[in-house]
Amino acid sequence: MNKQIVGLSSLLTILACSQGKQPPAETSPSAAVRGGLALTLGTIPDNVRCVRVGVDPENDVLITEERDVAPGDEEALFSIDDIRVGAATIRVEAFDVVCSDIAGEHPTWISYDAAVAIQAGVVQAVNIALYQVGGVDIGVFWEDVSGHLIDDMEHLHPGEIYTVEGRSGDWFAANDGTCSQYPAPGDDVGFTTDAYEGQHAVTTSGGPCTDWGATIGFMVNDPDGTPMPYDASRYAGVRFMARVTAGSNAFQLACSDGLSHPKGGVCDEAAGTCWDAPSITLPATGSWEAYAVQWAELKPGGWSGNDLTLDARTLFGCQLNIAAGDVFEIVVDDVQLMESPEPIPLSQLPSFSGSFAKGFNFGNRLDAPNEGDWGPPLSAINFRDVAAQEFDHVRLPVRFSVHALETAPYTLDPGFMERVDWAIAQALLNGLSIIVDFHHYEEIMNDPAGQEARFLEIWEQLATRYQGLPDAVAFELLNEPIGPPAGNLDASKWNALLPQAINVVRQTNPTRLIIVDGPSWASAYEINTLNLPAGDPNLLASVHTYEPTLFTGQGGEWNDPAWWTKGVIYPGPPATPIEPVAEAMAIQWMADWFHAYNTEPAATNPSGPATISAMFTPVSSFIGINGYGVYNGEFGVSNAADAQSRANWMRDIREASENSGVGWAVWDNNGGGMHILNTETGEWDADALNALFN
């Protein structure tokens, strides 16, 4: 963290009223607040709302006046160039203004929770605090906290945390009843001026305790003294500064959620099944250290047998635990939720053998043109949700091509690659194998020869970057090669290119599992046109099984209108013939398909098991002739289909895959009309899960 002191006049310039007026030269902070202040912006982005803050001196109540400001509204602009982070000017983009004047008890303080633009477009968070004690201007402290502040300890309200987003909470200290502790359990927490930043930090000390030990912690959402869950799933974890001294040179960070906290209504405190919160052991060095813990790093506790993993959607709080027998002192400052995940060195990730039998596709996430374009961004909680089911791996489609230079040396964007690193780490931390899949490389489909060098160079970068990762990480060279009429990467061109790509990977990853999609959109019917090089036991052919597409793609807005006929069931025929959309009837093969669907019995109906059997016949033939295994990398069905038909079809695909010795990964497009997981709530399609695992 960085800290600067900015003159009081500079702050008042920033806060001056926006109608071209200058701040009074000799106005105290308190008087300025009572006179009314407006937070104005040096750079106006779209959709910004300014808040004018004032105090009604007669009623002593806070008054806020909201005002929308549009780009180009010059009357609302004031320079903030004199507040800088390093060599970069802060640009305030969003903020929450809080003013407090508690006469005779606490200093006047003004706090701004703001997003700021730093060099190269890196967005961080800034907390600005103005202190004025006894009429003496101490100055303005700003802290680059790179996250969402929970508590900077500067409010001096014992037992309360600094509030943002309408949250409130409290700090607490506790022990097992066998030792002395300052502060005593039930008393207000203690403050010290020996802070990392600003003027104050929270502290506790004591011991040794002889039963379970002692703790200091906070409830992140505690309105009116009643702890309540807080949805922290959009954050990656928690970060804090601490100076911890303990006899064992270690302490434990534990975070409670709706499953482990008594107020969650799930565990039984009387039976001893509460407070068994997921935790991690951290070093206690006796010096100020920056600690950053991702939710996924918190592992199940142990004494209650619950084996709980943290559900950040129902976060209650976190605490620093000291083991029995330790004399301890803990000082904590600047607690915050991390908006950006802390990178875990690839060399420190868990190592285990890969398992690719039952998988889940994170579609429409990192394969979108920009992450977030096609649904919610990928979050750590998504990996936890998948790991909590019976899946053993995830397939991660990634659109590397839009994040690499178009000309030599075709360098991949470092920032985007850190995001891919993070996704791989989340999988491994949750015990999931992962397939890194080169997805949506549209340029190579249209111009295979012109993109060959770029394709191979991108894979050289990927192979080099990930060469030290465990066998639980697999590479998929290219998703769904597309030949005529939609593309130009036909079987002959793909068969000529893939040995070169395999050789590039093998230079640095001699035994890594490489998955190779078959030609024609990875069609199961065309799998026998794929020529894999002989003598490499770590190759796996891949197919995608979406037949019958007029059932699986029905009503999908991602398809042409000809696929928009709804009400197609599986298995057919329907009790009452359906009328296809006009666009389908104008295409002969579709018209023929619907005629057969409406008239043929279940045994031969095109929307029935016979179609699935026909897909897997060439798969079995390929396995028998070539000796290579096959992987079913995608299958899924539109949410427009009825639930029972979806489950029937998924079960038949899954059973056909397993009966053929083929691992599989169900497709999920992130709420885009073909999904089984609601990534925002963590709710699963129960019928789909039953079809996949029972």
CA distance 457 to 410: 7
Q: Please say whether the beta carbons of 338 and 326 come within 8 A.
A: no
Give the per-residue pLDDT at 184.
87
Examine the pLDDT at 76 and tell me if it is beyond 60: no
The residue among 411, 401, 499, 416 whose CA lies nearest residue 450 is 401
Single-letter amino acid, residue 523: S
Residues 6+ apart with CB under 8 A from 686: none
DSSP alpha helix (H) spans, 466-490: none
| b/e 479-493 (16+ beta carbons within 10 angstroms → b) | bbbbbeeebbbbbeb
Structure tokens at 8: 């009081």
Smallest CA-to-CA distance from 232 within 255, 252, 254, 259 is with 255
pLDDT at 192: 84
Q: Is the pLDDT reported for residue 601 higher than 80?
A: yes
Q: 86-100, 372-386, 397-411: lowest mean pLDDT where?
A: 86-100
The token pair that represents 338 in the structure block: 């991390």
- The mean pLDDT value for 625-637 works out to 96
- At residue 263, the pLDDT reads 82
- pLDDT for 198 equals 67
Mean pLDDT of 119-123: 31
Rounded Cα–Cα distance for residues 241 and 231 (Å):
23
Give the sheet arrangement for strand 250-256, strand by strand. 170-175, 214-219, 317-322, 250-256, 279-283
**Residue pointed to by tokens 């599989």:** 664
Tell me, rounded to whole angstroms, the distance of Cα 262 from its chain centroid.
Answer: 27
Q: Give the pTM.
A: 0.64
Residues 73 and 15: their CA atoms lie apart, in Å, by 17
Mean pLDDT for the chain overall: 77
The larger pLDDT score, comparing residue 519 to residue 342, is at 519
CB-based contacts of 177: which residues, under 8 Å, 6+ apart? 211
- Looking at residue 159, what is its pLDDT? 55
* Beta carbons of 542 and 553 less than 8 angstroms apart: no
> Among 104-108, 248-252, 428-432, where is mean pLDDT lowest?
104-108
Number of other CB atoms surrounding residue 5 within 10 Å: 10
Amino acid found at 412: L
Measured in whole angstroms, how far is the alpha carbon of residue 45 from the centre of its chain? 25
Q: How many CA atoms lie within 13 A of 130 on its CB side?
A: 26
Is there a contact between 359 and 663 (Cβ–Cβ < 8 Å)?
Answer: yes
For residue 353, give every residue at least 6 positions away whose Cβ sits within 8 Å of its Cβ, in sequence order, or none: 470, 471, 472
- Give the confidence band of 56 by pLDDT, cuts at 50, 70, 90: very low
With contact defined as beta carbons under 8 Å apart, do 380 and 294 qualify? yes
Q: Domain segments of the chain: what residues?
A: 3-144, 170-338, 352-544
pLDDT tens-digit profile of 124-164? 333 333 333 333 333 333 333 344 667 767 655 555 554 44
The CATH number assigned to the domain with range 170-338 reads 2.60.120.430
pLDDT, one tens digit per residue, over 282-338 is: 999 999 998 988 887 888 765 444 566 788 888 888 999 999 999 999 999 888 888
The span from the CA of 211 to the CA of 327, in Å, is 13
Per-residue pLDDT, 113: 33
With a cut of 80, say whether residue 48 has pLDDT above it.
no
Give the CATH number of domain 352-544; options: 3.30.465.10, 3.20.10.10, 3.30.1360.120, 3.20.20.80.
3.20.20.80
Please report the pLDDT score of residue 64 as a whole number.
42
For residue 272, the tally of other CB atoms under 10 A from its CB is: 12
CB neighbours of 329 closer than 8 A, spacing ≥ 6?
Answer: 203, 204, 205, 243, 244, 245
Tokens, residue 678: 């609601």
Confidence of residue 10 (pLDDT cuts 50, 70, 90): very low
Q: What is the pLDDT of residue 224?
A: 64
Average pLDDT over residues 418-442: 94
Q: Is residue 29 over pLDDT 50? A: no
**170-338 and 352-544 share one fold:** no
pLDDT of residue 17: 24
What's the rounded Cα separation, in Å, for the pair 222 and 224?
6
Of the pLDDT bands very low, low, confident and very high (cuts 50, 70, 90), residue 399 is: very high
pLDDT (0 to 100) of residue 340: 58
Summarised one tens digit per residue, pLDDT across range 190-235 is: 888 888 876 778 899 999 999 989 999 988 876 666 778 888 877 8
